[in-house]
Every structure is written in structure tokens, then in C-alpha cells.
Amino acid sequence: MRQELGDVVDAAELERQISRGVHDVLRHQVEAGVDIVSDGEQSKPGFQTYVAQRMTGFAGESRRRTATDFIKFPAYADMMRAKIGRRAKMTNAPQAVGDVTYHGQREALTDCDRLSRELGEIGGGHSAFMTAPSPGIIATTLLNAHYDSHERYLFTLAQEMRKEYEIIHKAGFILQVDAPDLAMERTVFFQDNSDAEFISFVEMHVDAINKATADIPPAAMRVHCCWGNREGPHVDDIPLAKILPELLQLRAETLSIELANPRHQHEYESIRAAQWPADKSLIPGVIDSTTNYVEPAQVVANRILQAVTAVGDHARVIAGVDCGFGTFAGYEMVASDVVWAKLKALREGADLAAKSL
């Protein structure tokens, strides 16, 4: 957080702490029984805002709109402000004030090298994924104060983020493109638009992801879509059924969709009704990333079985979590020891589901 604010920090000490953080989260994931692990985004102040440190053209401060939950429920907004202390920039990230150009190859390679090194120390032969934000979530968070249209800004970001996506792929990791813009932004950036207008923007944002990943095999990547990683009312969330046709146009073979929280756990029926394509796999969120309840293994298994029924093939279902447990530094809803218990429940629930299948 200090580095993000421009403070001078000890680079060697920061690297030591990041490496230790990656080692610890890998160890806990492996001990919990997770098959496909990640570095926990330990080097990043925010899952998408970090790109301002890897690109030219950003300065000043964005004025991101307030999500409708915080407008409709002011007592909820007050409670959340009181609950969350100092954190990385979320609604006030830098904005694009000039031509944006990616120069973060060294940082991206460092992330990949670190994950390889720490994974080697942990052992176990696990595969791993690494996250990078979609062009759309960058465009709707690090706002445009330079380009003549949202579309031009979006596709410029796609062209530049392609460099980071390909570094992750060439390092041998699964690329996860985090794209909450495909659902969440209905209640933030596009809150004044109709559902039909929003869906047209989703089509554009999907096209941007597809262009940016054109040289990455579909089997080597996945896209995560969610409605915002917070415990809240979510009364204005757009239904999955309305955006699913566009999500299925993504090149990625695997889609990660949150389905564990109370607002979306009924939407397996939308997946079944859409006649899930034979060339796509689903990572259903079967663990809620915003509450400290530890799901019983049987609940996890039941959710996995619902996903298998909806998709029609157990081989194309990978049990996952709704979203990250900490999407910004200082912004975590779940205690770390509860996180590891939840991941253990994920493993146990997957084993139960496998037995019944």
C-alpha cells in the first residue's frame, strides 16, 4: 500500500515479504488438498489496479461510481466503511491521462519466476494458474480521461495487456483472466444503462478479451466472471441467464462463475437451460469467499453435483471458490485461518461428490 502511494520502500525487503507470502499461501493450498494452486496475488495491491504500475499513461485519481447497493442501503454503506480500515486504492485508482503502454514485462516475469521457485520448494507436482485483469475491468476502474471513446480505450488496453497474458502462458501457467466487468459493472459503471445496453457492452468486452488472447490456446486459459466480491444485498445484479450467451463466446475453454453465495446459487438452472457446450468446462463457485461460515463437505458435494447435472459431464466440472478471498490489500472479509478451513472443505466436498459419481 505504501508503494502504491509513491512512498520509498526497501525493494529487497518487499520482495522477501512477497516471496514469503507466496510460499505460505502455496503451502496452505497444498495442505488443504487443492489441485490447481495460485500465488495468491501476493505481489499486487489490487487484482486490477496494479497495472497502473506496469503501464505508462496513468496519473491522478479516478472517481469510480458508487455501486447501487451502497446508494440503496445507506446503513449498509456506513457499516462497510466502519468495518474496513486502511486498504489499497479501490475507487480512486489512477486514471488514463495519456497513451497507455505496457512496460511491465520484468514485473510479470518476476511473478512467474517466483511462483515457479516457490512451487518447486513446496513440491507435489501441482499445476498452477496466475491471474491478470481483463481489459474491461481495467477500463471501468482506471477510468479514461484521454481516449475519445470507451471502445478505443478498451481495445488499446487489450492490445497492451496481451503482453502480460502471453508472458504468463509462456511461463507454463494457466492464465486466468479476471473479468468481473462482465457482470458486476451492471451496477457500477453501467448502472444508468438498460440490461440490453449493458449486454451490448458485454459483447464488446468479450471481444476485447478474445483479441487479447488470440495466440493462447483455449485449453490454457480460463475467465473468471462475478458480481462483485463483497457480502452485500446485490439486489441489482443482472441474472446469469441474460449474460451467459455472451460468456459462452469467450475463447477460453473454462469459465469460472460464482454460484455459492445466496444471490446466485439458484442459477445452475440457467446453465442447464443454455445447453452447456461440449468444448467448455465450468468452475462453479462452491465456496463463498465473503463469509466466515465453513461450508460442510456435504454442502460442497451437493453444489458440485448440481453443476455436473447442469453441464452434463462430470469431467468438465472443476470445483472452485466464488472469488478471491482478498481482492485488494487490506480488504479481506474472511480470516486467513478460516480460508484454509474452507479450502479443506472444498477438497472434502469434491471427494464426496467423486464417490457418488
Neighbour count for residue 239 (Cβ, 10 Å): 13
What local confidence, expressed as pLDDT, does residue 342 receive?
A: 98
Helix (H, G, I), strand (E, B) or coil at 99: strand
Which residues on neighbouring strands pair with residue 63, listed in sequence order? none
pTM for the model: 0.94
Neighbour count for residue 348 (Cβ, 10 Å): 18
Do 92 and 60 contact (CB within 8 A), yes or no?
no
Helix (H) or strand (E) holding 176: strand 174-178
What are the two backbone dihedrals, phi and then psi, of residue 36, each rounded to the nearest 5 degrees? -115, 105
Do 107 and 54 contact (CB within 8 A), yes or no?
yes
What are the two backbone dihedrals, phi and then psi, of residue 224, each rounded to the nearest 5 degrees? -100, 130
Helix (H, G, I), strand (E, B) or coil at 127: strand
CA diameter of the chain: 56
Query: What value, to the nearest 5°, has the Cα angle with vertex 180 and ends 191 and 160?
Result: 105
Tell how far CA 82 is from the center of its chain.
25
Query: What value, to the nearest 5°, has the Cα angle with vertex 16 and ends 162 and 40?
Result: 50
Q: What is the pLDDT along the chain (357 residues), one digit of tens a residue?
A: 787 778 888 989 999 999 999 999 999 999 999 999 999 999 998 989 999 999 999 999 999 999 999 999 999 999 988 877 665 666 778 999 999 999 999 999 999 999 999 999 998 778 999 999 999 999 999 999 999 999 999 999 999 999 999 999 999 999 999 999 999 999 999 999 999 999 999 999 999 999 999 999 999 999 999 999 989 999 999 999 999 999 999 999 999 999 999 999 999 999 999 999 999 999 999 999 999 999 999 999 999 999 999 999 999 999 999 999 988 777 788 999 999 999 999 999 999 999 999
The answer for residues whose C-beta is within 8 angstroms of residue 207's C-beta and 6 or more apart is none
Q: Is the dihedral of CA 83, 289, 34, 112 positive or negative?
A: negative
The answer for residues whose C-beta is within 8 angstroms of residue 176's C-beta and 6 or more apart is 38, 129, 130, 131, 132, 221, 222, 223, 224, 256
What are the two backbone dihedrals, phi and then psi, of residue 293, each rounded to the nearest 5 degrees? -65, 135
- Is residue 209 classed exposed, middle or buried when 0-12, 13-18 and 19+ CB atoms within 10 A define those classes? buried
- Is residue 356 classed exposed, middle or buried when 0-12, 13-18 and 19+ CB atoms within 10 A define those classes? exposed
What local confidence, expressed as pLDDT, does residue 88 receive?
A: 62
Position 12, amino acid:
A
Cell 495487456 belongs to 161
Task: Measure the CA dihedral 177/280/250/198, to 10°.
Answer: -100
What local confidence, expressed as pLDDT, does residue 90 receive?
A: 66
Q: What is the β-pairing status of strands 320-321 and 36-37?
A: unpaired
What does the alpha-carbon distance between residue 194 and residue 260 come to, in Å, rounded to a whole number?
27
Neighbour count for residue 193 (Cβ, 10 Å): 14
C-alpha cell at 42: 501476493
C-alpha cell at 222: 480460463
C-alpha cell at 338: 478460516
The answer for residues whose C-beta is within 8 angstroms of residue 303's C-beta and 6 or more apart is 259, 260, 265, 284, 286, 319, 349
Helix (H) or strand (E) holding 22: helix 11-32
Closest CA to 256 of 301, 221, 297: 221
